[in-house]
Amino acid sequence: MRKLPNDTAGDLLTDDATDNAADKADGPIRRCILSGERAERGALIRLAIGPEGQVAPDVRARQRFLDHRGQVVGHGDPRRAASAMRSDPVSSVPELEAAIAKGRLKAALARAFKTGPITVPDDLPAMIEEALTRALLDRLGLESRSGTLLTGSDRIAEAARRGKVWLLLHSSDSSPDGNAKLDQAWRVGSDAEGSGQRGSVLPVDRTRLSVALGRDNAVHVALTDQRAAARIDQFLGRLLHFKGEGAVPGPGEPV
């Protein structure tokens, strides 16, 4: 991955409870209700309480309480929104599953919200992963409509060799040979041969990717605008960190 502005170093599940001094000094900082650690709000995953006390992910961090259908059911103090962050992204999903099984997450949410009975779905980790995936695909769709995104192996290869590609993505069912050819073209155009730079494999297949982009048979995607690449990198980074997968190395970084 080419060096991008505002790369995200990590994320996961968090508590929106914070103090004014921290916000003013370091920006919008939030504290994890499970670990007690603090991180920037944009690097965390927000959980919201629905009208019947059900917990649902709000990965876009809207300052509202949402139910499972995503409808606004009432305005609440965003400082009371809850989430959960761990410093080690590799163990994020297992730790969250353990916290749910042992009742730790439910207890922490009850203390944070104080709104009555709370129901934490057993499949909350899967719900969060799906919400992060949808957010990434929605962002890719916006970039497609704005003209900052290329599809088609030939077009991507040409742009990559000319040094016009900032971020390269492959669908989960793309062929290793096809990936390798585009990765090599990207390294050549980025003057990064021998660096191990390669595109990221998305956790979605070509069918779902094509629907998101509104294009036929989208197998590979290239971002040709630096700011657009940074935006996609942030969305993808949140998803991969939650899944416990490492970031793809960029030029000069170890594989």
Structural domain boundaries in the chain:
12-122, 128-243
Residues of the chain with pLDDT under 70: 1-28, 41-43, 61-92, 246-255
Q: Which pLDDT does position 254 carry in this prediction? A: 33
What is the pairing mode between strands 55-58 and 12-13? unpaired
Q: Which pLDDT does position 116 carry in this prediction? A: 80
CB count within 10 Å of CB 94 equals 12
Phi, psi of 245 (to 5 degrees): -110, 140
116-126: b (≥16 Cβ within 10 Å) or e: eebebeeebbe
CATH architecture of 128-243: 2-Layer Sandwich (3.30)
CB count within 10 Å of CB 223 equals 25
Q: Which pLDDT does position 162 carry in this prediction? A: 97
Q: Which pLDDT does position 161 carry in this prediction? A: 97
